[in-house]
């Protein structure tokens, strides 16, 4: 099982049945699901990406997945998406480098530790994903390389893990392309075309138009911009997030370690690099710009690594920034509003959880588009929930 030999181009047809705007995790997962449904055997599906495959937040992330959330809707969704992630090697023939090292939450206060225990009893145990709790003495014995001084307790979620983001997207993309999906890279969609209340296609910069009766917008933070041209306003905001990456060390940290109260985390790649982030001193900026990383943040993150991992030489190799595409309730938006032009759908607003939620989101959206009936698990995540006051309030946020 290795990497597939696939070739991408910027060539586009003049006519398609479905155009998917965005070649990141959300868009590619939808194309992959359409292919698995057999839809692409007799229909033309085109993915249009303005950059490289996975451009945007899909390639700027910590590449982890988890099943533990504070809302039942997100917990149920994440459990099912995890199962889709784990089956990718068998279905696609591509190894996306899945690891199951677990998530380790560290708690500074008894109040937070006890609240986590309540969620375990009320939500995670009934869904079959219980968390393991340890006092500090037990945790020190089990997790010897982590400095637990100053913490009151530890929770370990063994169901959680990591995946290589590029290989995951490539796995789904290669499967979809072998079954007829066309993926055009370095092509920017400028406008969604609408006539008489229904979608007619897209206008692409430097190319012209591609006619289609269905357009799925999975363009990350740029989804808001495209929809605003149609007078549609989704409550999305781009929040910049940064990550520090060190030189490789001998592999010693299987777990993804996060401080519950701050959401700061440290982990290690299979190559041995330490990845980490500390909270911005003044909070993360709301901006489309990913070019700015402050020296204060770099220093704070280096100190955070040494705080948890002890006297380790932090040889910083690089830092980079990406986005959380954030909704008011920190839950994704997948589906459509009946007041929108017919044939228009979105998959967006994952609020930092796109890579882990995309496989199931793509499956549900593909079924909705093809079958015309909304799957039950998709109902809570419709864009109409904001005007209906049916928010899915998610507060277990990391990073």
Is residue 218 over pLDDT 90? yes
Task: Identify which of 231, 234, 218, 246 has the alpha carbon closest to the alpha carbon of residue 319.
Answer: 246
Lowest mean pLDDT segment, chosen from 107-111, 215-219, 281-285: 281-285
Domain topology for 237-326: D-Amino Acid Oxidase; Chain A, domain 2 (3.30.9)
Which pair of tokens denotes residue 124?
């995670």
Is residue 1 over pLDDT 80? no
Write the pLDDT tens digit of every residue in 44-55.
Answer: 999 999 999 999
Q: How confident is the model at residue 11 (pLDDT cuts 50, 70, 90)?
A: confident
Give the pLDDT confidence score for residue 2 in this predicted structure: 59
Give the pLDDT confidence score for residue 4 in this predicted structure: 66
Instruction: Give me the mean pLDDT over the 219-228 stretch.
Output: 96
Task: Say which residues have a Cβ less than 8 Å from residue 283's Cβ, sequence separation at least 6.
Answer: none
Q: How confident is the model at residue 312 (pLDDT cuts 50, 70, 90)?
A: confident
Write the pLDDT tens digit of every residue in 232-243.
Answer: 999 999 999 999
Q: How confident is the model at residue 193 (pLDDT cuts 50, 70, 90)?
A: very high
Task: Say which residues have a Cβ less than 8 Å from residue 93's Cβ, sequence separation at least 6.
Answer: 1, 4, 175
Instruction: Give me the mean pLDDT over the 260-286 stretch.
Output: 89
Give the pLDDT confidence score for residue 176 in this predicted structure: 97
Average of per-residue pLDDT values in the chain: 94
The whole-angstrom separation of Cα 256 and Cα 268 is 8
The whole-angstrom separation of Cα 221 and Cα 350 is 10
Is residue 67 over pLDDT 70? yes
Give the pLDDT confidence score for residue 234 in this predicted structure: 96
Domain topology for 18-61+165-235+329-388: FAD/NAD(P)-binding domain (3.50.50)
Write the pLDDT tens digit of every residue in 29-42.
Answer: 999 999 999 999 99
Instruction: Give me the mean pLDDT over the 61-78 stretch.
Output: 96
Is residue 8 over pLDDT 80? no
| Exposure b/e, 287-298, CB count within 10 A at least 16 = b | eeebeebeeebb
Distance of CA 120 to the CA centre of its chain: 23
Task: Say which residues have a Cβ less than 8 Å from residue 23's Cβ, sequence separation at least 6.
Answer: 47, 48, 49, 51, 52, 53, 54, 55, 169, 173, 183, 185
**From residue 259, how far is each of 1, 279, 283 by CA, in Å?**
36, 11, 16
Give the pLDDT confidence score for residue 306 in this predicted structure: 93
Give the pLDDT confidence score for residue 47 in this predicted structure: 97
Write the pLDDT tens digit of every residue in 135-156.
Answer: 999 999 999 999 999 999 999 9
Instruction: Give me the mean pLDDT over the 123-127 stretch.
Output: 98
Is residue 253 over pLDDT 80? yes
Is residue 244 over pLDDT 90? yes
Domain spans of the chain, in order of start: 18-61+165-235+329-388, 103-134+147-156, 237-326
Write the pLDDT tens digit of every residue in 367-386.
Answer: 999 999 999 999 999 999 99
Orientation of helix 354-371 relative to helix 72-86, angle to 10°: 90
Q: How confident is the model at residue 314 (pLDDT cuts 50, 70, 90)?
A: confident
Look at 224 and 399; give whichever has higher pLDDT: 224
Lowest mean pLDDT segment, chosen from 69-78, 273-282, 330-339: 273-282
Q: How confident is the model at residue 10 (pLDDT cuts 50, 70, 90)?
A: confident
């Amino acid at each position: 099982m290795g990497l597939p030999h696939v070739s991408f181009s910027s060539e586009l047809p003049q006519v398609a049945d479905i155009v998917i705007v965005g070649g990141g995790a959300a868009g590619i997962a939808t194309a992959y699901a359409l292919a698995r449904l057999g839809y692409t055997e007799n229909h033309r599906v085109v993915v249009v990406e303005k950059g490289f495959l996975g451009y945007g937040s899909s390639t700027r992330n910590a590449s982890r997945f988890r099943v533990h959330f504070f809302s039942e809707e997100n917990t149920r969704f994440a459990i099912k998406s995890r199962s889709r992630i784990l089956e990718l090697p068998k279905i696609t023939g591509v190894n996306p480098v899945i690891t199951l090292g677990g998530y380790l939450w560290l708690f500074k206060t008894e109040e937070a530790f006890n609240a986590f225990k309540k969620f375990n009893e009320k939500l995670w145990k009934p869904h079959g994903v219980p968390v393991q709790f340890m006092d500090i003495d037990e945790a020190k014995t089990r997790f010897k390389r982590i400095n637990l001084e100053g913490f009151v307790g530890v929770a370990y979620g063994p169901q959680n893990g990591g995946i290589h983001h590029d290989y995951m997207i490539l796995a789904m993309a290669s499967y979809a392309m072998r079954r007829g999906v066309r993926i055009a890279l370095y092509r920017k969609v400028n406008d969604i075309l609408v006539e008489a209340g229904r979608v007619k296609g897209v206008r692409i910069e430097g190319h012209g138009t591609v006619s289609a009766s269905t357009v799925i917008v999975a363009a990350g933070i740029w989804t808001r911009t495209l929809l605003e041209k149609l007078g549609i306003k989704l409550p999305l905001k781009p929040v910049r997030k940064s990550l520090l990456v060190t030189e490789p060390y001998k592999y010693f940290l299987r777990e993804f370690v996060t401080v519950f109260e701050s959401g700061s985390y440290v982990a290690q790649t299979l190559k041995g690099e330490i990845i980490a982030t500390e909270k911005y001193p003044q909070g993360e900026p709301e901006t489309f710009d990913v070019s700015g990383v402050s020296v204060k943040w770099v220093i704070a993150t280096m100190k955070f690594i040494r705080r948890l991992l002890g006297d380790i030489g932090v040889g910083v190799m690089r830092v980079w920034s990406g986005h959380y595409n954030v909704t008011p309730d920190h839950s994704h938006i997948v589906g459509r509003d009946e007041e929108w032009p017919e044939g228009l759908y979105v998959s967006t607003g994952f609020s930092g959880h796109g890579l882990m939620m995309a496989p199931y989101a793509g499956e549900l959206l593909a079924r909705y588009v093809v079958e015309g009936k909304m799957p039950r698990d998709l109902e809570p995540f419709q864009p109409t929930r904001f005007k209906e006051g049916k928010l899915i309030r998610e507060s277990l946020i990391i990073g």
